[in-house]
């Protein structure tokens, strides 16, 4: 089902080292700005680790697409409480108006290994589908290289294949009933 533990080789890296590795790889195809500010709907100013946009938007349905990116050290995500706090943080960012960008899809990095946290087989699928409803996806290394994913199986972009579902998905935050 997933590509859990895709960061196994990075487990010993600090958050700063891990972030540096990912951002270096992202810069091949994206423009990255680190530590970007916005205003949460509560009125509180918040700062996300990075925002990034494609260098070339020709193959993207949303020509103005910008992603938010929040990192955690893989070593810090072994406990359920830490995993839930990380996902809550991402949901908060998905409810944030980022300066000059508005609401943007937010990616967590690395992917959380929900499979070892929950005993029910459908729980990882459910969690990723739920996060997708908040316009929260994941950025991590998969069998297709560095990948942007939503709902565990929807590859939006991969470093080996380029734009995938980004061709057909606007990736716009929706509020209220659908």
**Residues pairing with 10 in the sheet:** none
Q: Quick check: is 152 in a domain?
A: yes
Q: Quick check: is 178 in a domain?
A: no
Q: Quick check: is 3 in a domain?
A: no
Q: Quick check: is 175 in a domain?
A: no
Render 62-130 in DSSP notation, one character per residue: STT--EEEEE--GGGGSSHHHHHHHHHHHHHHHTEEETTTBS--EEEES---GGGT-SSTTHHHHHHHH
Q: Quick check: is 56 in a domain?
A: yes
pLDDT (tens place) for every residue of the chain, 178 residues total: 343 444 455 667 777 888 898 999 999 999 999 999 999 999 999 999 999 999 999 999 899 999 999 998 888 887 888 888 999 999 999 999 999 999 999 999 988 876 555 556 656 777 888 888 899 999 988 888 999 988 756 788 889 988 887 777 777 777 775 5
Under 8 Å between Cβ of 111 and 127? no
Q: Quick check: is 104 in a domain?
A: yes
**Res 54: pLDDT:** 95
Asked whether the whole model's pTM tops 0.75, one would answer yes
d(CA 54, CA 40): 24
């Amino acid at each position: 089902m997933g590509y859990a533990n895709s960061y196994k080789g990075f487990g010993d890296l600090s958050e700063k080292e891990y972030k540096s590795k990912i951002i270096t790889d992202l810069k091949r195809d994206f423009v990255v700005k680190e530590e970007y500010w916005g205003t949460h709907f509560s009125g509180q100013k918040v700062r996300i680790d990075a925002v990034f946009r494609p260098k070339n938007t020709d193959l993207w349905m949303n020509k103005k697409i910008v992603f938010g990116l929040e990192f955690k050290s893989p070593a810090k995500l072994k406990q359920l409480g830490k995993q839930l706090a990380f996902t809550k943080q991402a949901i908060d960012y998905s409810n944030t108006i980022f300066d000059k960008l508005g609401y943007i899809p937010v990616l967590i990095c690395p992917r959380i290994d929900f499979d070892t946290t929950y005993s029910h087989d459908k729980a990882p699928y459910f969690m990723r589908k739920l996060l997708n409803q908040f316009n929260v996806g994941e950025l991590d290394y998969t069998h297709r290289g560095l990948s942007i994913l939503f709902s565990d199986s929807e590859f939006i972009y991969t470093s080996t294949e380029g734009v995938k579902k980004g061709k057909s998905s606007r990736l716009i935050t929706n509020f209220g009933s659908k």
